[in-house]
C-alpha cells in the first residue's frame, strides 16, 4: 500500500476503526438490545436459535431506530458482502446472515471482519483499485474498487456514530 490512494483509504479506515474500537470496548451486553423508543428495529431469536433482524424491502416511514444489535448485524451483513466481492467470492444472501446472538460474539465477528477487510485492502495493487466493483452499486455501474473501499469507510463511520450515540443515550438514560 504505497500509492497515495492506498494511504488515504487505509488512514480513513484506521481512524474509523479506532473510533469503533473505543465504543466496542465500552459496550455492555445490555446495550445491544436496548430500545430507546417504541419504534425500533432489533434482532430476534428464532425457534431454531438463530437471531434474525427486523427488515423491510422498502424503507418504512417513519424510519425505525435501530438497536445496537441490529446495527452490528447490519455491519456484519454489508461488510461481509463487501469482503466477499473484493475477494472474488459469492456473498451470502441477506436472509442467511444471522446476528451472532450475544455481545461478545458480535464484537468478535466485527473484529474478524476488520481483519479480513484489512487483508483485502492491504493486498490491493494500484491496478486493482481501478477495477470495476460490483458492490454496492450492482453490475454495470461505473464504480471502482477504490470507490467501494471509500464507501466501506463512509458506511462504517456512519454506523459507528449510530452505535456510539445509542451507547451514550442508554448510559445517560440510566444515570
pTM: 0.94
Ramachandran category for residue 49: left, alpha or beta (phi over 0 → left; psi -120 to 50 → alpha):
left
pLDDT tens digit string along 63-111? 999 999 999 999 999 999 999 998 989 999 999 999 999 999 999 999 9
pLDDT tens digit string along 15-68? 999 999 999 999 999 999 999 999 999 999 999 999 999 999 999 999 999 999
Provide the greatest CA pair distance for the chain: 52
CA atoms within 13 A on the CB side of 41: 18
Domain ranges of the chain: 4-45+66-173
Superfamily of domain 4-45+66-173: dinb family like domain (1.20.120.450)
Amino acid at each position: 500500500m504505497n500509492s497515495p490512494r492506498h494511504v488515504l483509504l487505509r488512514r480513513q479506515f484506521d481512524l474509523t476503526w479506532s473510533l469503533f474500537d473505543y465504543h466496542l470496548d465500552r459496550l455492555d451486553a445490555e446495550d445491544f438490545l436496548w430500545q430507546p423508543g417504541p419504534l425500533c428495529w432489533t434482532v430476534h431469536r428464532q425457534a431454531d436459535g438463530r437471531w434474525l433482524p427486523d427488515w423491510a424491502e422498502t424503507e418504512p416511514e417513519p424510519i425505525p431506530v435501530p438497536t445496537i444489535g441490529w446495527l452490528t448485524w447490519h455491519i456484519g451483513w454489508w461488510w461481509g458482502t463487501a469482503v466477499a466481492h473484493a475477494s472474488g467470492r459469492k456473498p451470502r444472501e441477506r436472509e442467511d446472515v444471522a446476528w451472532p446472538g450475544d455481545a461478545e460474539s458480535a464484537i468478535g465477528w466485527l473484529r474478524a471482519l476488520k481483519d479480513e477487510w484489512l487483508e483485502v485492502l492491504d493486498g490491493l495493487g494500484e491496478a486493482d483499485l481501478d477495477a470495476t466493483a460490483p458492490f454496492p452499486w450492482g453490475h454495470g455501474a461505473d464504480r471502482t474498487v477504490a470507490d467501494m473501499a471509500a464507501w466501506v469507510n463512509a458506511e462504517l463511520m456512519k454506523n459507528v456514530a449510530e452505535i456510539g450515540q445509542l451507547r451514550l443515550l442508554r448510559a445517560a438514560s440510566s444515570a
